[in-house]
Every structure is written in C-alpha cells, then in structure tokens.
Amino acid sequence: MRAAWNQGTEMTTQQLFYRSVVPVSAQRHGNWSVKSGDSFAFAAGVNSVPLTAVEFDPASAEYPVVFAASGDSVFPAAILGARPNENLYVDGAGKWLGRYVPAFVRRYPFVFSQDEAGTTFTLNIDESFAGCNQDGRGERLFDADGQQTQYLQGVLAFLQDYQARIRRTRAYCDRLKELNLLQPMQAQFTLASGEQRSIAGFMAVDRQKLKALPADVLADMMSKDELECTFLHLASLRHFRDMLDRMPAAAAAAAAPQPAPAEPPPAEPGVVH
C-alpha cells in the first residue's frame, strides 16, 4: 500500500517486515525450529497491512479498512498507524494491543511464492525472524527423518487457505472497480500543536454511488456477501477518530476521512504445494 503525506513522506511499502526470504527445504532447514507468537516486534514499523474480505468482520471492529491501489489492481488494507513507520497496535514489548491480528501478520515468517505460470506455490521463510533457531525453541520444521512435521503441514494448510481467500478478495475488489464505486480519500489530523497532517493514497466506497446502484446489482452483491463487506468497510472509517486515543500525547486532536483533492522473490526448489 502506498500513501502520500503532506510532509513528503510515504507509507511503508508492501515488502513490510520480510527481509531475508528463502525457500523452505529439508536440506537447508532440517534442524530448524520456529518460536512464534511471543512477540510482534517485527511489525512495529508498519502502519498498514493487507486484509482479505473474510477478515472484514473482525478487522472492521477496531481498524480503519480501506482500499489501496497497486498498478491496475486494488486490495483491502487495515490502517494501523497515522504516521510513517508507526504501528499503534504493537507496544514496546512487542505485544499486539488489538483484539484481532490480521492473517498477513499471523502467517509471518512464512510466505508463498509462485512460478511465472501461477500454478506452483513454494513455501518460503524469512530467516531474519528472531524466532528462527537451531536450538529446539518452538516448533521443528522437519523431523529426524527429514519429513515435514505436523507444525509445518499446518503452516502449509494455513497459507493454502490464505491464497484461496486472496483470490476471492480480488474478485470482490474487481466488482467494486467495475461498478466505479471507489473514490480517493484522505484522513486529516490536527496535532495538539495545531499542525495539520493528512494521510492519503487510499480509496473508500462512495456512499452515493452505492445507493444509486440498481436493485438487481445490489441483490447480487448481497448474495455474494459483497454488500456486507462494503457496509463493514464504510462503518470502519470511524476508527480514524478512534486511532487518536492510541497516539502519543503530541498526537492528533481530530481526524476524519475526506474525499481527496482534485510480493516475495521468484520460486526456488523447496517445499512445494
């Protein structure tokens, strides 16, 4: 997700917290273990993460859910901070302060890459993750015979399901684009000092265009849960104001979204799905 700030800075890129990603293999990681879930410090410097449509229900209860453009495609994202490199939902000890942790965060340090045809997916791991180790902490990736452990099989199943959710989410976003429902938005913040800041580069559904859709289109969106996702997205925009309560003492005093003014490296040999 890319967003421009009025001070010339940009939102964190979608590389996010992945740093040293390599394919998982018994040859390289036969003695590796992963200790995860204790700390989310790796996500402390990102102010947005992608969401899938199925996550709108839990995510919209506490995060602003918006849409970000990447090339010709659009994808949902949860806003986690009001300034660059700021995640208001991770504290100094690495604890996640929100009730819901987005799947993009939960899947770390693992991620799929795919071949050029998009038919073969390879499981990768970020070896820079602090929980990766070779002294038995956490869950082993392979057993003594070099076979996948139940933990690694569970990781594969989780990412396979995540990929399926991504495909369904893309179909929903394509529908919003086809109906021309998305419009550029920006959130405006007034600091305690009186200084004005804004975060832009995201989109939201235009309520008036949504209301003007024909009844048969709305009925079709309802049958596919697309209308429910859209309502959840619109309701979530109130959390731009709620975000101020999490900001430091010198943070914004008011915020509201307003209409804006006029993946992983190539696949290598590894654990393949």
101: left (phi over 0), alpha (psi -120 to 50) or beta: beta
Hunting for tokens 């820079």 — which residue is that?
Answer: 128
**120 or 272, higher pLDDT:** 120
Single out the residue of 130, 216, 143, 151 nearest to residue 179, CA to CA. 216
Type of residue at 183: Q
pLDDT digits (tens, 9 = 90+) for 85-101: 889 999 999 999 999 99
Give the separation between CA 91 and CA 41, rounded to whole angstroms.
8
The distance from CA 221 to its chain's CA centroid, rounded to whole angstroms, is 24
Q: What is the identity of the amino acid at 6? A: N
Q: What is the pLDDT of residues 141-181, one digit of tens each?
A: 999 999 999 999 999 999 999 999 999 999 999 999 999 99
Which residue's entry shows tokens 């429910």? 228
53/68 Cα distance (integer angstroms): 14
CB of 151 closer than 8 Å to CB of 141: yes
CB 204, CB 239: distance < 8 Å? no
pLDDT of residue 270 exceeding 50: no
pLDDT in the model for residue 242: 82
Contact between 65 and 236 (Cβ < 8 Å): yes
CA angle 44, 49, 51 (to 5 degrees): 145
Q: In the chain, how many H helices and how many E strands?
A: 8, 13
Task: Inform me whether the pLDDT recorded for 13 exceeds 60.
Answer: no
Summarize pLDDT for 184-200 with one digit per residue, the tens: 988 887 766 676 767 78
